[in-house]
Structure 1
Amino acid sequence: MSDITITTTDGLEGREVTEYLGVVSGEAVIGANVISDIAAEIRDVVGGRSGSYEKKIEAGRREAITDVRAGAAELGADAIVGASFDYEEMGEGMLWVNLSGTAVETRRR
């Protein structure tokens, strides 16, 4: 499953898309606790980066990638083209990470 290539482009160099299998998506909802919220706000005020939030967002991206690859594998795909991340706030302290793209079969040229 981890060998499924994901790209933001509409094709893959050296490979030809032979079949479009459908849209796939992976999601993750990230929550933050009160202590890390306060620490992040303090860093924002003094101009620092919020390492705790960055780690949570990265974990959310990894989870979304795992989910989208699983969906593509179920369709028999070997790649996902046109992939795009989306981030939405879902309420106080909650962030939704979505990765979607088109699952495809390819062959080497």
Structure 2
Amino acid sequence: MLITTTDSVAGRDVAETLGLARGATVRAKHIGTDIMAGLRNVVGGEMKGYSSMLAGAREQAIDRMCEEAKAMGGNAVIGFRMETSAIMNGASEIVAYGTAVRLR
């Protein structure tokens, strides 16, 4: 599945626009990660537990978006974007979305 943030793909024509494809996941913090992050907050530096959690969440959201685009008959997603929001204390939602298309 080709994914691009642009609205076109150089050298390819959009044969059909299929609609919005999206994927989302919600992740919650782990108490152990919170303890380590609290210590890291005192001395500074990257909070690797959170970085790892969010990287996994981003990949899962993208995978789900691609699955939806493929189910629509697409072979690409153009205009790709991601958003993150806190839905409650300690939990975040990651949403990946774009336009599913069929390229020639």
Interval of TM-score (by shorter of Structure 1 and Structure 2): over 0.9
Q: Which residue of 2 aligns with 1:29?
A: 26
User: What's the CA shift string for 1:25-61, capped at 9, x where partnerless?
Assistant: 0001111112211211221232210000000001001
In the superposition, the TM-score normalised over structure 1's length comes to 0.90
Alignment of 1:62 onto 2:59: yes
Determine helix, strand or coil for the equivalent of 2:65.
Answer: helix
User: What's the CA shift string for 1:78-105, capped at 9, x where partnerless?
Assistant: 1000010000011111110000100001
Indicate the larger mover: 30-39 or 61-70: 30-39
Q: Which residue of 1 aligns with 2:82?
A: 85
Alignment of 1:10 onto 2:7: yes
In the superposition, the TM-score normalised over structure 2's length comes to 0.95
1:20 deviation in Å? Answer: 0.7
Alignment of 1:96 onto 2:93: yes
- Aligned identity (percent) is 34
Determine helix, strand or coil for the equivalent of 2:5.
Answer: coil
1:30, 1:62 → 2: CA distance?
12
- How many residues get paired? 104
1:77, 1:32 → 2: CA distance?
34
Segments of structure 1 that go 5 or more residues without pairing to the other structure are none
1:16 deviation in Å? Answer: 1.0
